[in-house]
């Protein structure tokens, strides 16, 4: 059988990477307190820490950088971006921000200002959204479908909102306490799983019935739209651009980190149909980000986003992109490395708990696997397990709650790595799986209360 179309681009510029020895990597780990955040990028051979802000831009985008108009007000690139936002999302109003969480901060600091007891439902809030809601006194309510919690279920839309749970939530919560409903496409915190178009529509209808505006977290909207085209009945004949437009037609607005499907290294957006929302947030933007025609970015960055938003809808690109993630999953399966099924849009989530059954959650199996992957292969992934999500008893240092699944996320940057790079990663993991009993657990030596995982330090329990 013929293989699917490989990369629909050719390489014009390369970035050299260093390859350290195992001994050098061991020293890097010790110096950085066994934290993945403590590893200098130059000591990493293949960096799968995040797909955010790590995309390779195209020659068209780089060309756009030279056409940056750095005027304080009314830069031409702002109007190009406005055209892209209208064409791709169909939203008439938008504000640029320096990244996704700045858009979330603007939105929630206004929406929740001076209010008590606000509750915001979502399929699953991403952690920056959660933090922005919680610091403003709100409560996050995750209502994703139950399949999302089953690591082996091959359900096609494990990111869907559970409509029965949402209805119950609306029926039992005073309307005045629900300022907005969010939907994260794809569901990053839930394994990068997509949300079906029918589910977006039904969520929107339910929101309308209860008078609650629906906003989308649009970070990976193009990947989500591609999955709809591939997996949802009756959608296969449509263009991804068309599916994306319909998706957003069900929402009042969106927040977006352009560092994902904007195919850029920095930038974010707040988009809306609601002129009142725009007007209040414009005032706030002026205080915290900048004038609304640049909003915390340079004109050249606006241009790169304007072009990236259009480029990301190229279906040959999306087929390659999601195909590469799926292929990586197949390579891991062949080597007996457990991961969450099916593979998501932007990452493979290893199931470290299933692999390292001799390391209890108390001793962070996800962290142990991530460390070994770096030590053995120079590959950086991110632990999304108990070290990140568990609650700790301050007095004893013992973990009192554990993550539901001990995951290590291997996020694939867009247009950066080849299938050979990923095969190398799969080989390293396959070797680790064969000698898994050698891996040891970890404990914290430093664990701050706020945003613990960024600055925590660990030691190996020998
Ligand atoms: N929403 C989702 C779904 C995200 O995945 C992210 C970032 C944000 C919002 C915030 O955007 O970083 O531009 O402020 N996710 C990155 C990740 C950090 O690695 O998954 P930001």
Can you name the residues that pair with 347 across neighbouring β-strands? 411
Q: pTM of the entire structure?
A: 0.95
Decide whether any atom of ligand 1 lies within 6 Å of the 223 Cβ.
no
Taking alpha carbons only, the member of 282, 266, 296, 293 closest to residue 69 is 293
* CB neighbourhood size of 163 (10 A): 15
CA of 183 to the centre of ligand 1 (A): 14
Looking at residue 257, the DSSP 8-state letter turns out to be E
Residue bearing the CA closest to ligand 1, atom 18 = 52
Residue bearing the CA closest to ligand 1, atom 5 = 188
Decide whether any atom of ligand 1 lies within 6 Å of the 100 Cβ.
yes
CA of 39 to the centre of ligand 1 (A): 20
Residues of the chain above pLDDT 70, percent? 100
pLDDT for 36 beyond 80: yes
User: Which of 2-16, 95-109, 291-305, 425-439 shows the lowest per-residue confidence on average (mean pLDDT)?
Assistant: 2-16
Decide whether any atom of ligand 1 lies within 6 Å of the 108 Cβ.
no
The predicted model gives 396-418 an average pLDDT of: 93
pLDDT for 417 beyond 90: yes
Per DSSP, the three-state class of 41 is helix
Which ligand 1 atom lies nearest to the CA of residue 258? 13
CA distance 85 to 78: 10
At 293-333, the pLDDT tens digits run 999 999 999 999 999 999 999 999 999 999 999 999 999 99
CA of 219 to the centre of ligand 1 (A): 7
Asked whether 134 and 174 are in contact (CB, 8 A), the reply is no
Which ligand 1 atom lies nearest to the CA of residue 187? 3
pLDDT for 261 beyond 80: yes
Decide whether any atom of ligand 1 lies within 6 Å of the 187 Cβ.
no
Helices (H), 21-75: 22-31, 59-65
CA of 419 to the centre of ligand 1 (A): 25
Q: What is the DSSP string of 99-121?
A: SHHHHHHHHHHHHTTT-SS-EEE
pLDDT for 1 beyond 80: no
Asked whether 85 and 143 are in contact (CB, 8 A), the reply is no
Decide whether any atom of ligand 1 lies within 6 Å of the 52 Cβ.
yes
Taking alpha carbons only, the member of 224, 301, 242 closest to residue 269 is 301
SS (H, E, C) 120-145: EEECCCCHHHHHHHHHCCCEEEECEC
CA of 52 to the centre of ligand 1 (A): 7
Decide whether any atom of ligand 1 lies within 6 Å of the 247 Cβ.
no
Can you name the residues that pair with 270 across neighbouring β-strands? 95, 255
CA of 292 to the centre of ligand 1 (A): 22
């Amino acid at each position: 059988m013929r293989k699917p179309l490989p990369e629909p681009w050719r390489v014009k510029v390369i970035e050299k990477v260093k390859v350290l020895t195992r001994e050098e990597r061991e020293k890097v780990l010790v110096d950085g307190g066994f934290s993945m955040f403590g590893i200098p990028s130059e000591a990493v051979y293949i960096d799968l820490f995040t797909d955010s802000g790590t995309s390779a831009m195209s020659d068209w985008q780089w060309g756009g950088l030279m056409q940056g108009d750095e005027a304080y007000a009314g830069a031409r690139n702002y109007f190009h971006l406005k055209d892209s936002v209208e064409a791709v999302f169909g939203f008439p109003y938008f504000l640029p921000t320096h990244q996704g969480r700045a858009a979330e901060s603007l939105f929630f600091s206004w929406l929740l200002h001076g209010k008590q007891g606000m509750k915001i439902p979502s399929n699953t809030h991403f952690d920056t959204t959660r933090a922005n809601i919680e610091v403003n006194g709100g409560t996050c309510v995750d209502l994703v479908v139950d399949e999302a919690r089953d690591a082996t279920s091959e359900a096609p839309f494990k990111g869907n909102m559970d409509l029965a749970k949402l209805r119950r939530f609306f029926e039992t919560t005073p309307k005045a306490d629900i300022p907005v409903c969010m939907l994260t496409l794809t569901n990053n915190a839930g394994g990068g799983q997509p949300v079906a178009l029918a589910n977006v529509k039904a969520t929107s209808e339910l929101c309308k019935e209860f008078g609650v505006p629906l906003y989308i977290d649009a970070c990976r909207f193009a990947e989500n739209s591609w999955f709809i085209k591939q997996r949802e009945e009756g959608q296969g004949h449509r263009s991804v651009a068309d599916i994306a437009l319909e998706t957003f037609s069900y929402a009042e607005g969106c927040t977006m980190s352009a560092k994902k499907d904007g195919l850029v290294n920095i930038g974010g957006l707040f988009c809306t149909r609601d002129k009142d929302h725009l007007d209040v947030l414009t005032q706030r933007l002026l205080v915290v980000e900048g004038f609304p025609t640049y909003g915390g970015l340079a004109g050249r960055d606006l241009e790169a986003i304007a072009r990236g938003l259009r480029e990301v809808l190229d279906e040959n690109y999306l087929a390659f992109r999601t195909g590469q993630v799926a292929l990586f999953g197949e390579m891991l399966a062949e080597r007996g490395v457990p991961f969450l099924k099916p593979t998501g849009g932007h990452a493979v989530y290893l199931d470290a708990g299933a692999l390292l059954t001799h390391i209890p959650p108390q001793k962070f199996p996800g962290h142990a696997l991530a460390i070994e992957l770096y030590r053995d292969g120079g590959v950086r992934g991110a632990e999304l397990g108990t070290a990140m999500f568990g609650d700790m008893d301050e007095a004893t240092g013992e973990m009192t709650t554990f993550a539901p699944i001990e995951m290590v996320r291997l996020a694939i940057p867009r247009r950066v790595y080849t299938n050979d790079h990923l095969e190398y990663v799969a080989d390293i993991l396959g070797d680790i799986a064969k000698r898994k009993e050698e891996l040891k657990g970890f404990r914290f030596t430093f664990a701050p209360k706020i945003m613990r995982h960024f600055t925590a330090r660990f030691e190996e329990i020998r």
